[in-house]
A and B are shown apart, each in its own frame.
Chain A
Amino acid sequence: MTRFELKRLIPKIGIWTQELIFLIAAFFYLHSQINPILMLESQSPVFLKGAAFFNGSMKIPGGFVNWLTALFMQYWSSDFWASLYLAICFWLIAILTRMWINTLTEKKSTHTFNIIPAAIFLLLHGNYYFPVNVELSLIVNLVFLFLFNKYSFSNQWVRLVAGILISVILFWFTGGTFLVFAVLTVLNEILFKKKYVNGVVLFFIAVVLPYAGSASIFYVPTRQAYLQNLIAEENINLMTNQYLLYAFYFITPIVIFIFNFSSLKRFVQKVTDFHQIWKIALGTVLLLATFYITPTKPSNYLMRTVIQVNQFARNGNWNSILEAISKYTDKMNPILLYQTNFALFKKNLLLDKMFFFNQSEGHKGLLMDFHWCSTFSEEASNIYWDMGLVSESQHWAHEALEQKGYLPNILKRLGMIYSLKGYNNAGNRYFNNLKKVPFYEETADELLKLNQDPVTLPKSSSYQRIASVMPTEDFISLGRPSPLNMETLLRRNPLNKMAFEYLMAYDLLIGNLKGVAKRASYFELVNYPHMPIHIQEALIFKESISPDSGKTSLQRYVTPAVINRFVEYRKILIDIKKDRSGTTTKLRGLFGDTYWYYYMFIKPKK
């Protein structure tokens, strides 16, 4: 290799190295700070094998990219694979942006600058609702943009026809992101190729195409035709960054054009007149510094915690839920408490430790109200399923199906519900769809096989428990959570532990001390290892505020340790009247985990 060749090769290696460093840094940043696997929870990519689903996707502009992204996301089995996918997307965006910029400049040595869009994507993904489709859409457009700029026909008219055709195809396949190709091609034609007619016609096509598409072939609103896969409209807090992304692509050719025609070019060359490799190194350092100073927590802490807790619940990581909630410092909301209480129940700790957590939402944190169930329908369905209230689980699973689409867990749940209720053929419809979800073929086959034999089905391991606790008498509900639901379940099967504990927890949360006392003997009947702490606390508290025949139950159920603690609590409570300021903090510190404290200081008013 000659010295000249080596001199030319070194900057190239420098650029590739810089991009590789970016790839690695982006991967680690995603993996350690963003946890993109949580995007599966927030974006719920629906993908079914087969022509019908593909054809359905192709009926909207951008549907192809959505289909492809959903397919890729099926393979996001862990943060590793999700981070790798996104990092590779960012890397491709950086490379393609460089290749595109190089088609506009004489010196083919773009570096650092081309990584800006990819870096913006990293920021955007701090919001878990930012659609993953956008990267792929942009990549497809950048590929075509580069190919068109680099290799397109020299004949003006052929070039124009090719430009129009590509615009139409890109609009169909990638949605509104085709505007990136169209607008940048327009700029290229006008500023660099001096083909003004082409520029004007392609601009007209870019403006009109989505409108024409939505008015004729595609049944989508015009707004969606323009914005599909271009802008995530629903997340207002993302707007600035999204505009920055597209502003970058819009401004770049203009800047390059200005540089080519002004003394600015000479000035910049003079100022930055040191070896290329040093420039690349400096750019790389700057990029890495950006990673370092970028906030380690994604943009919305509450959103992240909710998504994370929901995913833990989906995977049965009950300890992780309790750990995450223990560390969580912001305001509690019903879904977080709902999952916390569910995790406590799963760990056999509900009636012993529920007040260790701030039950500020009262009974809504145990069984969400209609509004919260409507928002977190799948989660609502899960608890009612475990409890055995199959019809209520069915209700919320259907809401989830409407909101999220044909996701495997929902299909499986609904299939099992219909099978259990004796609607085996209806169950089969869900299982047949489950079979089309990648990695769920085997599960679907097993369920379909079970469903063929309605007699043995309730005895099979996957159905047995629910079949033994689901109600057999009709009970009318107006769609609101009610203790009557749990009572119905207990009548069906008094050994339904979840229904019983949730009923007791519900009574504790609404302050129904009579109800708690009435059912206290049940714990002995079903051989609980000990009387749960919060029940003991409720019993002694009830005795203190309305003394009646509780003495026997106190002696029988409440341990001396709890009694002593309550005596101490009351003493401090009396002191509050004397010195309110310091004592309440002390009370919270010492007794914030007790039912008494909840009842007196946290329980929401009706």
Chain B
Amino acid sequence: MKNQNIINRIKKFVTIILIAILTISCSTRKDIPNAKEEARLPIINPDYTGIVIPPNCSPLNFSIKEKGENFLVQISSKHGEPIQVEDNSGQINIPFSDWKELLAQNAGENLKIEIYSEQKNGQWTRFNAIENKIATEKIDGYVAYRKFGPLFNQWKKMGIYQRNIENFDETPILPNKLTQDNCMNCHNFWQNGTDRWLLHTRFEPGTAMLLCVDEKIKKIDTRTEFNKSPGGYPTWHPSGNLIAFSVGKPLQFFHTIGETRDELDRVLDIIVYDVKKNMVTTTPEISSPDRVEVWPLWSHNGDYLYFCSSNKIDSYTVKSQKNEDSLAYGNIKFDLMRILYDAKNNTWGKLETVISSAQTGFSISQPKISPDGRFIVFTASSYGSFPIFHSDADLYSYDLRNGAMKRLELNSDRAEGFHSWSSNNRWLVYSSKRQDGQFTGIFISHIDSAGVTSKGFALPQEDPLFYETCLEIFNVPEMVKESVKFSPQTLARIAHLEEQETQKATLDPKVKANKSKSSPAADSWINTNMTR
């Protein structure tokens, strides 16, 4: 009897739930009668207007910055049912599965977002429809980045994270909570995969590179007699067996107006780490005592090592107009250079200047080559090699087939940089301060076969107000096809290995022999906040 009672109750409960689900799913779409036309685009944040969206992108949730008591948004394309979202605060959370379905059905088509606002008197206003395009090419599933506060010298919470672009899942690769609140940076993946990748940890529990090769992680100290500082700004050779790094000592300084922070590059060299031999090598051409070399980049076939290089200037101190000592930071401009490399014999060829700063007038940094080897996209700014602090920093492309160079269409009037190519050559993710000039966010742009880029859009977030409240910086976005296979705890355990368990890189005997001729490489890589 008692059991029967319980069964009856369960039946009743299930019936109610079913009715509720049926009611919700059968609810009719709202029609907008007599809407007044407003002949302009509505203001929404983030700015998701006139963009190209990957067909596997997560919903573009946004907030409407128009006056109104209620808002209605209709998202439609050529095929499938339009999506309607109504919200009286203007915070638009697009239903996940409806969005995915709409995008999947309409790859290559336009995506229309119509926004209506209702005033107190019940009058509806219809704004011009936002027209976006859904690309046919998918974007790599993940983006890995460094997340932290807008730092000056100190930090507390920092970590390397990975975000699934297809949904909103963000998981830590390694949060510094697990590694004694230390500094970490320079995460880099070989050919957009997670079979071979690396990141760096600085200070406690040991300055080292965590190198993952074929499902094994090692803790490696890349410091040698040549380079007392560990490597940074890594680039993988296409073979997956060599990694080139910058080593050196930038100087942090501060401005009284505009962007406060800045970096001065004085002593920077390039080294190449051989993964199999655990050996560091270099050549005077890429670690010259007379020049500053930074931002190495292997060509897509590994025959060339590209890098940025600047003449050392005589004095870093200049007298200001008021006869006060100041820094000659504005005089440092980097060229894009390259050198032939024979990986088989570890021999270097002749040095060539690819783009001269004297000709272009700007300083080049952060070159990144497309996986098909056609374009190099680099950052150009008025001086130096750390452009994220320079509002004039823009992304340029250089066509390796014909030497054509152009400023990309995706740029804004704020700093852009730290870009990464998708494995299919069709997407660029990059850091930009375009939202407010201070907080670096991750942006995505489509790039077609001719190198034409679409307007960038902020990495979608579940919370429509995310970009109005988030006080963290997202930087060095690296596109990856899949998520990292190791748990943060495993990586933390490796990071905590004692010194005797850390693999200490050896120095190439050839370099050892030439050491007296080599560059006075920096004593320490003050790399605490290198990617703000």
Q: Are B436 and A426 in contact (CB under 8 A)?
A: yes
User: Complex formed: what's the CA distance from A219 to B178 in Å?
Assistant: 7
User: What distance in Å separates the Cβ of B61 from its nearest Cβ neighbour in chain A?
Assistant: 14
Q: Are A391 and B256 in contact (CB under 8 A)?
A: yes
**Quick check: is A299 within 8 A (CB to CB) of the other chain?**
no
**Quick check: is B486 within 8 A (CB to CB) of the other chain?**
no
Interface centre among B151, B155, B436, B488 (most CB of A within 10 A): B436
> A374: which B residues are within 8 A, CB to CB?
153-154
> B437: which A residues are within 8 A, CB to CB?
422-423, 425-426
User: What distance in Å separates the Cβ of A588 from its nearest Cβ neighbour in chain B?
Assistant: 39
User: Complex formed: what's the CA distance from A423 to B251 in Å?
Assistant: 25
Query: Given contacts A220-B178, A479-B254, is CB(A426)–CB(B469) below 8 Å?
Result: no
**Quick check: is B152 within 8 A (CB to CB) of the other chain?**
yes
**Quick check: is B156 within 8 A (CB to CB) of the other chain?**
yes
**Quick check: is B238 within 8 A (CB to CB) of the other chain?**
no
User: What distance in Å separates the Cβ of B498 from its nearest Cβ neighbour in chain A?
Assistant: 16
User: Complex formed: what's the CA distance from A473 to B152 in Å?
Assistant: 21
Q: Are B469 and A429 in contact (CB under 8 A)?
A: yes
Would you give the 0/1 interface string for A430-464, flagging 1 where the beta carbon is closer than 8 Å to chain B? 10110000000000000000000000000000000
Query: Given contacts A394-B260, A399-B153, A477-B254, is CB(A432)–CB(B468) below 8 Å?
Result: yes
Query: Given contacts A219-B488, A374-B153, A395-B152, is CB(A475)–CB(B255) below 8 Å?
Result: yes
Interface-facing stretch out of A110-118, A124-132, A242-250, A400-408: A400-408
Would you give the 0/1 interface string for A388-428, flagging 1 where the beta carbon is closer than 8 Å to chain B? 01111011001101110010000000000010011111101
Interface centre among B322, B439, B471 (most CB of A within 10 A): B471
**Quick check: is B31 within 8 A (CB to CB) of the other chain?**
no
User: What distance in Å separates the Cβ of A397 from its nearest Cβ neighbour in chain B?
Assistant: 9
Would you give the 0/1 interface string for B147-171, flagging 1 where the beta carbon is closer than 8 Å to chain A? 0011111111100000000000000
**Quick check: is A52 within 8 A (CB to CB) of the other chain?**
yes
> A479: which B residues are within 8 A, CB to CB?
153, 252-254
User: Complex formed: what's the CA distance from A475 to B172 in Å?
Assistant: 39
Which of A389, A390, A402, A428 interacts with B468 by CB under 8 Å? A428
Interface centre among A424, A430, A479 (most CB of B within 10 A): A479
Q: Are A221 and B177 in contact (CB under 8 A)?
A: yes
User: Complex formed: what's the CA distance from A479 to B152 in Å?
Assistant: 10
**Quick check: is B8 within 8 A (CB to CB) of the other chain?**
no
Q: Are A219 and B177 in contact (CB under 8 A)?
A: yes
**Quick check: is B314 within 8 A (CB to CB) of the other chain?**
no
Interface residues of A in 222-269 (CB under 8 A from B): none
Interface residues of A in 572-600 (CB under 8 A from B): none
* Residue of B whose beta carbon sits closest to that of A430: B471
> A401: which B residues are within 8 A, CB to CB?
149, 471
**Quick check: is B326 within 8 A (CB to CB) of the other chain?**
yes
Interface residues of B in 45-63 (CB under 8 A from A): none
> A424: which B residues are within 8 A, CB to CB?
436
Q: How large is the interface on A (under 10, 10 to 19, 20 to 34, 35 or more residues)?
A: 35 or more
Q: Are A477 and B256 in contact (CB under 8 A)?
A: yes
User: Complex formed: what's the CA distance from A2 to B128 in Å?
Assistant: 86
User: Complex formed: what's the CA distance from A488 to B254 in Å?
Assistant: 14
> A423: which B residues are within 8 A, CB to CB?
436-438
* Residue of A whose beta carbon sits closest to that of B158: A402
**Quick check: is B324 within 8 A (CB to CB) of the other chain?**
yes
> B508: which A residues are within 8 A, CB to CB?
none
**Quick check: is B327 within 8 A (CB to CB) of the other chain?**
yes
Which of B157, B253, B257 interacts with A473 by CB under 8 Å? B257
User: What distance in Å separates the Cβ of B144 from its nearest Cβ neighbour in chain A?
Assistant: 16
> A484: which B residues are within 8 A, CB to CB?
324
Would you give the 0/1 interface string for A460-478, flagging 1 where the beta carbon is closer than 8 Å to chain B? 0000000000011111111
Q: Are A402 and B154 in contact (CB under 8 A)?
A: yes
User: Complex formed: what's the CA distance from A395 to B152 in Å?
Assistant: 6
Q: Are A426 and B260 in contact (CB under 8 A)?
A: no
Q: Are B257 and A406 in contact (CB under 8 A)?
A: no
User: Complex formed: what's the CA distance from A389 to B256 in Å?
Assistant: 7
**Quick check: is A215 within 8 A (CB to CB) of the other chain?**
yes
Query: Given contacts A423-B437, A432-B468, A433-B471, is CB(A471)–CB(B257) below 8 Å?
Result: yes
> B463: which A residues are within 8 A, CB to CB?
52
Chain A interface main SS type: helix
Which of B149, B180, B436, B439 interacts with A398 by CB under 8 Å? B149
**Quick check: is A102 within 8 A (CB to CB) of the other chain?**
no
**Quick check: is B89 within 8 A (CB to CB) of the other chain?**
no
**Quick check: is A214 within 8 A (CB to CB) of the other chain?**
yes
User: What distance in Å separates the Cβ of A209 from its nearest Cβ neighbour in chain B?
Assistant: 15
Which of B154, B324, B329 interacts with A403 by CB under 8 Å? B154
* Residue of A whose beta carbon sits closest to that of B465: A432
Q: Are A399 and B154 in contact (CB under 8 A)?
A: yes
User: Complex formed: what's the CA distance from A159 to B253 in Å?
Assistant: 63
**Tally of chain B residues near chain A (CB < 8 A):** 42
Q: Are A391 and B255 in contact (CB under 8 A)?
A: yes
Which of A406, A432, A473, A478 interacts with B256 by CB under 8 Å? A473
User: What distance in Å separates the Cβ of A519 from its nearest Cβ neighbour in chain B?
Assistant: 16
Q: Are B253 and A476 in contact (CB under 8 A)?
A: yes
* Residue of B whose beta carbon sits closest to that of A480: B254
Q: Are B253 and A471 in contact (CB under 8 A)?
A: no
> B258: which A residues are within 8 A, CB to CB?
421, 474
User: What distance in Å separates the Cβ of B156 from its nearest Cβ neighbour in chain A?
Assistant: 5
Q: Are A471 and B256 in contact (CB under 8 A)?
A: yes
> B155: which A residues are within 8 A, CB to CB?
402
> B436: which A residues are within 8 A, CB to CB?
418, 423-426, 428-429
Query: Given contacts A399-B152, A399-B154, is CB(A406)–CB(B471) below 8 Å?
Result: yes
Q: Are A220 and B252 in contact (CB under 8 A)?
A: no
User: What distance in Å separates the Cβ of B105 from its nearest Cβ neighbour in chain A?
Assistant: 33
User: What distance in Å separates the Cβ of B157 from its nearest Cβ neighbour in chain A?
Assistant: 8
* Residue of A whose beta carbon sits closest to that of B261: A395
Interface centre among A401, A424, A471 (most CB of B within 10 A): A401
> B257: which A residues are within 8 A, CB to CB?
391, 421, 471-474
> B438: which A residues are within 8 A, CB to CB?
418, 423, 426
**Quick check: is B435 within 8 A (CB to CB) of the other chain?**
yes
User: Complex formed: what's the CA distance from A386 to B253 in Å?
Assistant: 22
User: Complex formed: what's the CA distance from A391 to B465 in Å?
Assistant: 28
> A421: which B residues are within 8 A, CB to CB?
257-258
User: Complex formed: what's the CA distance from A433 to B149 in Å?
Assistant: 14
Q: Are B260 and A391 in contact (CB under 8 A)?
A: yes
**Quick check: is B514 within 8 A (CB to CB) of the other chain?**
no
**Quick check: is B367 within 8 A (CB to CB) of the other chain?**
no
User: What distance in Å separates the Cβ of A470 from its nearest Cβ neighbour in chain B?
Assistant: 8
> A52: which B residues are within 8 A, CB to CB?
463, 469
Would you give the 0/1 interface string for B456-474, flagging 1 where the beta carbon is closer than 8 Å to chain A? 0000000101001111000
Interface residues of B in 109-156 (CB under 8 A from A): 149-156
**Quick check: is B206 within 8 A (CB to CB) of the other chain?**
no
Would you give the 0/1 interface string for A152-183, flagging 1 where the beta carbon is closer than 8 Å to chain B? 00000000000000000000000000000000
* Residue of A whose beta carbon sits closest to that of B439: A426
User: Complex formed: what's the CA distance from A52 to B178 in Å?
Assistant: 22
Query: Given contacts A219-B178, A429-B470, A477-B254, is CB(A402)–CB(B260) below 8 Å?
Result: no
User: Complex formed: what's the CA distance from A309 to B469 in Å?
Assistant: 33
**Quick check: is B88 within 8 A (CB to CB) of the other chain?**
no
Interface residues of A in 202-218 (CB under 8 A from B): 214-216
Q: A374-B153, A395-B152 are in contact. List 12 more A-B contacts (CB 8 A).
A: A214-B489, A219-B172, A219-B488, A390-B256, A418-B438, A423-B438, A426-B436, A426-B439, A430-B471, A476-B256, A477-B254, A479-B252
Could you list 29 A-B pairs, sorted by A, with CB under 8 Å? A219-B178, A219-B489, A389-B256, A391-B255, A391-B260, A392-B254, A395-B152, A398-B149, A401-B471, A402-B149, A402-B154, A402-B156, A418-B436, A421-B257, A423-B438, A425-B435, A425-B436, A426-B437, A429-B439, A429-B468, A429-B469, A430-B471, A432-B468, A474-B255, A476-B254, A477-B254, A478-B252, A478-B253, A479-B254
Chain A residues close to B by CB (< 8 Å): 52, 214-216, 219-221, 374, 377, 389-392, 394-395, 398-399, 401-403, 406, 418, 421-426, 428-430, 432-433, 471-479, 484, 488, 491
> Closest 5 CB pairs between A and B?
A425-B436, A426-B438, A426-B436, A475-B256, A391-B260
